[in-house]
């Protein structure tokens, strides 16, 4: 029996409603690119996940998904303007689903329990595939792209992206990732 004097539980806190900054869009697209580097069918998996999640009104096909991701100013082909908040939320939800699916792989990359040479081989494979995708799709004259391709800074940045993806997996991942993408730092 419920007591009438007991207050109802408070609703979960709402994140401030604002579009993602340029840096937030860059990081979101880079994490989606990391998912493609980890899964050779990552692009198709994203389209399939968007259908499974009922996001076909936003992304009916892979071209529409690509158009939204082209708001990233680091890409060779970019779209001006602000990415609609509903689109960015949908992309974040897709990334959460992909991170859940790829979590065992993310964990194996971040694990310190395995022999260092195996971990290094995994990182080398991942970084090689990520560099191929970056060179293919991003503008090499941009400073951010040059940092990603740099042999010293690139591994650090890719490690941060993988950590952020692992952080976004699981329950509450959407809120954690959205808050981190809205963080100006």
pLDDT by 10s per residue, the chain, length 185: 445 555 555 544 554 567 888 899 999 999 999 999 999 888 888 989 999 999 989 888 889 888 899 999 999 988 888 888 999 999 999 999 999 999 999 999 998 888 889 999 999 999 999 999 999 999 999 999 999 999 999 999 999 999 999 999 989 999 999 999 998 76
Class of residue 90 by CB neighbours under 10 A (exposed 0-12, middle 13-18, buried 19+): buried
Q: Is 81 left (phi over 0), alpha (psi -120 to 50) or beta?
A: left
pLDDT value, residue 41: 86
**Which neighbouring-strand residues pair with 138?**
75
Closest by alpha carbon to 180, among 170, 47, 167?
Answer: 167
**Distance (Å, whole) CA 150 – CA 159:** 13
Class of residue 78 by CB neighbours under 10 A (exposed 0-12, middle 13-18, buried 19+): middle
pLDDT value, residue 158: 95
pLDDT value, residue 1: 46
- Please give the structure tokens belonging to residue 144: 């951010």
pLDDT value, residue 2: 47
Closest by alpha carbon to 143, among 37, 21, 26, 20?
Answer: 26
- Please give the structure tokens belonging to residue 15: 């994140």
Place of tokens 């090499």: 140
């Amino acid at each position: 029996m419920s007591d009438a004097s007991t207050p109802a539980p408070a609703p979960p806190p709402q994140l401030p409603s604002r579009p993602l900054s340029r840096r937030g869009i860059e990081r979101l697209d880079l994490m989606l690119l990391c998912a493609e580097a980890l899964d050779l069918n990552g692009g198709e998996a994203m389209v399939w996940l968007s259908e499974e999640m009922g996001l076909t009104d936003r992304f009916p096909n892979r071209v529409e998904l690509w158009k939204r991701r082209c708001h990233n100013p680091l890409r060779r082909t970019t779209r001006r303007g602000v990415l609609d908040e509903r689109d960015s939320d949908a992309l974040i939800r897709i990334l959460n689903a992909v991170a859940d699916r790829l979590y065992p792989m993310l964990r194996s990359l971040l694990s310190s329990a395995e022999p260092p040479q195996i971990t290094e081989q995994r990182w080398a494979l991942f970084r090689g595939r990520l560099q191929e995708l970056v060179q293919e799709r991003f503008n090499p004259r941009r400073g951010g792209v040059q940092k990603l391709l740099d042999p010293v800074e690139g591994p650090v940045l890719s490690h941060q992206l993988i950590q952020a993806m692992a952080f976004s997996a699981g329950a509450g991942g959407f809120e954690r990732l959205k808050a981190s993408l809205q963080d100006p730092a």
